Amino acid sequence: MATSTLTKAEDRTAVSHAARIQHVSKSFGRPGAQQLVLDDISLDVAPGEFVTLLGASGCGKSTLLNLVAGLDAPTVGAIETSGRPALMFQEHALFPWLTAGKNVELALRLRGVPKSERRDEAERLLGLVRLSGAYGKRVHELSGGMRQRVALARALAQDSQLLLMDEPFAALDAITRDVLHDELTQLWHETGLSVLFVTHNVREAVRLAQRVVLLSSRPGRIAREWTVDIPQPRRIEDSDVAELSLEITEQLRGEIRRHGQH
């Protein structure tokens, strides 16, 4: 979208939703032998809201994220987003022929930021994820956690109002993941971004989100939603988090069990 000036949080509230998913279904395969992956999904993400999409493998949560990202088109239904959303993958997806800083600058360049401003802006974004010294570092010189933070900085460089995250911390060790949860929560507070975060980790979902949406599998449908009003900063080990996680896990197990019954 052309209105890239909409960067401040107060402007974002002018829009009623960051993403609106309306009766979306998605099937794959040839006509006649089609497999329904997503069935009639409707979901709104409000400006500044943090929503996690939770589900077992094969529930189509990544497919849904691809649809929202515009990498694929829904078979039925419509998806509205304000501008092109930023997307973070499970793999860092940084370009190895560029340094960390240049990766961020490429996103700025593709967004149309003039050359004279790119360097400073890239430094600022790397500073946001606490990697000020990593501008000239090659991707392979960075640790897994640092790579994901550069990827986060690159996603932020798109200046999108909606950040889509596809299990971005799943490949990290527990300590690093924990730290990145804190980092992401803090960034979300600072930037006022809307986040749609896909995960299969129940505690991670509860740790991060204001709203947890549980998808059932094959086809993916919205099974249930929870509003999480545990105040931030939360810890993944907090008893409130554990309690809600237990409840959601029970429901998730129920959904999975249904698949073994026929």
Partner 1 sequence: MASTKSSTETSRSASASASASASASASASASASASASASASAAKGADEAAGLTGLAGLEAGLDALESSVDQRTPRSETLRKKVLPPVFAIALVLVLWQTLTWAQIVDPYKLPSPSAVWSEVRTAWLQGTLFDYIWTSLWRGVSGFLLALVIGTPLGLLVARVRFVRAAIGPILSGLQSLPSVAWVPPAVLWLGLNDSMMYAVILLGAVPSIANGLVAGVDQVPPLFLRAGRTLGATGARGTWHIVMPAALPGYLAGLKQGWAFSWRSLMAAEIIASSPELGIGLGQLLNNGRINSSMPMVFLAIFLILIVGIAIDLLVFSPLERRVLRSRGLLGRS
- Which parts of this chain interact with partner 1 (CB under 8 A)? 69-71, 84-87, 89, 91, 93, 95-98, 106-107, 110-111, 130-131, 138-146, 154, 158, 175-176, 178-179, 182-183, 186, 233, 235, 237-239
Minimum CB distance to partner 1, residue 97 (Å): 4
Residues sharing a CB contact under 8 Å with residue 49, sequence separation 6 or more, in sequence order: 18, 194, 195, 210, 211
Would you say 37 and 63 are in contact if contact means Cβ atoms under 8 Å apart?
A: yes
Which residue's CB is nearer to partner 1, number 24 or number 139? Answer: 139
Would you say 47 and 161 are in contact if contact means Cβ atoms under 8 Å apart?
A: yes
Which residue's CB is nearer to partner 1, number 148 or number 216? Answer: 148
Strand partners, 36: 27
**Which has the closest alpha carbon to 43: 71, 18, 14, 13?**
18
Cα 235 from Cα 159, distance rounded (Å): 28
Cα 45 from Cα 47, distance rounded (Å): 7
Minimum CB distance to partner 1, residue 254 (Å): 26
CA 179 to chain centre: 17
Would you say 130 and 94 are in contact if contact means Cβ atoms under 8 Å apart?
A: no
Task: Please give the structure tokens belonging to residue 109.
Answer: 């360049």
Minimum CB distance to partner 1, residue 194 (Å): 16
Minimum CB distance to partner 1, residue 261 (Å): 35
Which residue's CB is nearer to partner 1, number 129 or number 214? Answer: 129
Which residue's CB is nearer to partner 1, number 192 or number 224? Answer: 192
**Which has the closest alpha carbon to 178: 207, 138, 152, 137?**
207
Which residue's CB is nearer to partner 1, number 184 or number 214? Answer: 184
- Dihedral of CA 152/154/160/165: which sign? negative
Which residue's CB is nearer to partner 1, number 156 or number 214? Answer: 156
Minimum CB distance to partner 1, residue 164 (Å): 8
Helix locations, 170-262, DSSP H: 174-191, 202-208, 239-259
Minimum CB distance to partner 1, residue 188 (Å): 14
Radius of gyration of the chain from Cα atoms? 19
Minimum CB distance to partner 1, residue 233 (Å): 6
Which residue's CB is nearer to partner 1, number 30 or number 140? Answer: 140
